[in-house]
Structure 1
Amino acid sequence: MTAPWRILSLAPIGRETVRAMFEPLGGAAEVVFPATRDRAGLLAALPSADIVIADFSHGLVLDAEAVAAARRLSFVQVPAVGVDRLDLAALTAADVPVANAAGFNARCVAEWVLGAALALCRNLAWGDRAVRAGGWPQAEMAARDPREIHTQRVGIVGFGSIGAEAARLFAALGCAVSYWTRRRRPEAAATYRELDALVAASDILVLALPLTDETRGMIGPARLALLPERALLVNVARGGIAPDDAVLAALESGRLAGAALDVFDREPLPPDHPLRSREDVLLSPHAAGSSVQSRRNLIAAVRDNVTAAVQGREVRNIVNGVKPQVIRR
């Protein structure tokens, strides 16, 4: 009799939820968890794991040491889109396919982008704080030059599922939408521009691309200086793409009139970080992708892909070029 596949769940998802996802597999799979949510617990649990559901937080990182400890590892499923918390080179060298959950929260994040842009254009968070503090800043709100969204030129950096959906939503409101990505998309309902030209022509710049060695620091001081005066920045990508210090400097100089940030160089954002005290910044705790619908989508994506691996079918959304047929070790 073949031993059950051992599925190690590292993600901070409720144990009963994870177990319920794989109940239909019966005796073909066993779901386990680290004894402790720390480095020692991770390294102790990995040697017996056939499949790992990775941690989407900063807690249990699959770096080179962890990959080396996972001697039986045959497949890694990331319950997120970003894979920057894994050592992809080490996993690829070990011939372990890695899949993400591409697209599961595209609509959710795109709606956050649109909502954040609207909030910045109309100074909604500033007005809310002022009224809660006892004021009635009607004249001050008008003096802050609120903008109607349809008058804004929107530039989207990155045109995966999130960028494409955000472009569709902005276009539906009458915005002129442009995009940049490494590969032009002939089917895109937006205008392609080279990156520097895109930045220079964007009243609202949206970042929606993965953090890689190539994209780290991509929107730094030099590119932020290309923005039109009093542009707005919306970042749902990763903090390292537009470093916090560069964004802060652009706000202080007036090049940026405001920013909506769901991601930061360091998360959680340190309590004394100067971004926390700026009234022209909308802050969010890396939660743009969280909704009832996106959680359901994520559970379905992880369940279906891991089930496919156990049942000998090809998995989807491989991100490291390894063949999608999972071979048990």
Structure 2
Amino acid sequence: MSSKPWQLLVLAPLGAERVHDAFGALDAEVVLPASRDREGLHTALAEAELVVADFTSTLAIDADAVAAAPKLAFVQMPGLGVESFDLQALTAAGVPLANTAGANAQSVAEWALAAAFDLSRGITWADRQVRSGAWPQLEAAARGANMLSERRVGILGMGAIGTEAARLFEAVGCSVSYWSRRRRTTGVYKEIDELLATSDVLVVCLPLTPETRGMLHAQRLALLPQGALLVNVARGGIAPDEAILEAVESGSLAGAALDVFEQEPLPADHPLRRHEAVVLSPHTAGATRRAQRNMLTAVVDNIKAAMEGRPVANVVNDADALVRRR
């Protein structure tokens, strides 16, 4: 006699059709929350055993959510950041939380390189001017575009994304150095303040943790060379929006390319939306077709492993990778 199917709760806002396509072949009861709010989340968690989490962070798995899920055995994040989870509560409950580390690393790194090219050459700025009816040929030349290959690049965080970003920037002729919580055996390592002081382009690839939140405050950004560029593909809380705005308004930063913000969506009236030196993206640096396929494959593989009694990959809290039904 076969055991009762696992209940799989999908919180990620994929839509019923995509959820069916992704998980319909699994021997599981696949359910969606009745509403995308706290009440809907807690109601759905009452019977949930396996959870595919919400990558938008709208339905956060905090301590109250963990307490509302007596049968919860495993949580899979379809992405990298896990700041919307209470890791301690999950660990105390014996629930492993996994992410899809590395699945979108190349896509995010390519965005960082493209953004640095854009800022160095003023591509988006020129596009806006021409679309408005102007022909700013002389003004563009006066702005002093730079060849990216002539610039020193600093990478903050040498995980999968930072490592790939370093490779790409080196490939176009940039000199690259880095800071990371764990020093690597290769590459040019510098302490944080030294890295900032010697980086014409700073690429932020760190996870958001209590230690990295607010790391790039106004005083630290002021260490960057005059006219430096900032590219953030990590999380907005690492480099506060107001600190970035202050730096670009003062001219200390010549430009910033931001895929992430402290509050998402970025408020419609936020002054960053109006600043000509800032290139904005709606947290989609990793949203290529290949990256999405990679992440979905990683999610499904881990759900299968959990159901079949095999260890799951990429556990980020201190729980056993072998999922146990409760």
- Tell me, yes or no, whether TM beats 0.5: yes
For 1:141, the equivalent position in structure 2 comes to 140
Q: Secondary structure at the match of 1:234?
A: strand
Cα distance in 2 for partners of 1:316, 1:58 equals 21
Task: Tell me by how many angstroms 1:18 deviates.
Answer: 2.4
Task: Tell me by how many angstroms 1:150 deviates.
Answer: 0.6
Alpha carbons 1:155, 1:202 under 8 Å: kept = yes
For 1:315, the equivalent position in structure 2 comes to 312
Asked if residue 63 in structure 1 is aligned to residue 99 in structure 2, the reply is: no
Unaligned segments of structure 1, at least 5 residues: none
Report 1:230-249 matches (<5 A): 230-249=227-246
For 1:132, the equivalent position in structure 2 comes to 131
For 2:207, the equivalent position in structure 1 comes to 210
Q: Secondary structure at the match of 1:37?
A: coil
Alpha carbons 1:22, 1:307 under 8 Å: kept = no
Alpha carbons 1:50, 1:328 under 8 Å: kept = yes
For 2:112, the equivalent position in structure 1 comes to 113
> TM-score if structure 2 supplies the norm length?
0.98
For 1:48, the equivalent position in structure 2 comes to 47
Cα deviation code 1:64-118 (max 9, x no counterpart)? 1111000000000000100011111111111110000001111110010000000
Q: Secondary structure at the match of 2:296?
A: helix
Cα distance in 1 for partners of 2:224, 2:22 equals 46
Task: Tell me by how many angstroms 1:16 deviates.
Answer: 2.6
Unaligned segments of structure 2, at least 5 residues: none
Cα deviation code 1:284-324 (max 9, x no counterpart)? 11111101111111110100000000011110000002111
Q: Secondary structure at the match of 1:16?
A: helix
For 1:6, the equivalent position in structure 2 comes to 7
32-41 or 46-55: bigger deviation: 32-41
Alpha carbons 2:60, 2:84 under 8 Å: kept = yes
Cα distance in 2 for partners of 1:234, 1:140 equals 24
Cα distance in 1 for partners of 2:10, 2:143 equals 49
Cα distance in 1 for partners of 2:133, 2:61 equals 49
14-23 or 242-251: bigger deviation: 14-23
Alpha carbons 1:56, 1:85 under 8 Å: kept = no
Cα distance in 2 for partners of 1:321, 1:209 equals 20
Q: Which of 261, 265, 279 lines up with 2:262 in the alignment? A: 265
Cα distance in 2 for partners of 1:199, 1:127 equals 28
Length, aligned pairs only: 325
For 1:286, the equivalent position in structure 2 comes to 283
Cα distance in 2 for partners of 1:249, 1:235 equals 16
Cα distance in 2 for partners of 1:275, 1:183 equals 33
Q: Secondary structure at the match of 2:168?
A: helix
Cα distance in 1 for partners of 2:325, 2:108 equals 35
For 1:72, the equivalent position in structure 2 comes to 71
C-alpha RMSD over aligned residues: 0.9
Alpha carbons 2:24, 2:30 under 8 Å: kept = no
Asked if residue 17 in structure 1 is aligned to residue 18 in structure 2, the reply is: yes
Identical amino acids, percent of aligned pairs: 59
Q: Secondary structure at the match of 1:8?
A: strand
Cα deviation code 1:138-187 (max 9, x no counterpart)? 1111111100011000000011111000000000001000111011111x
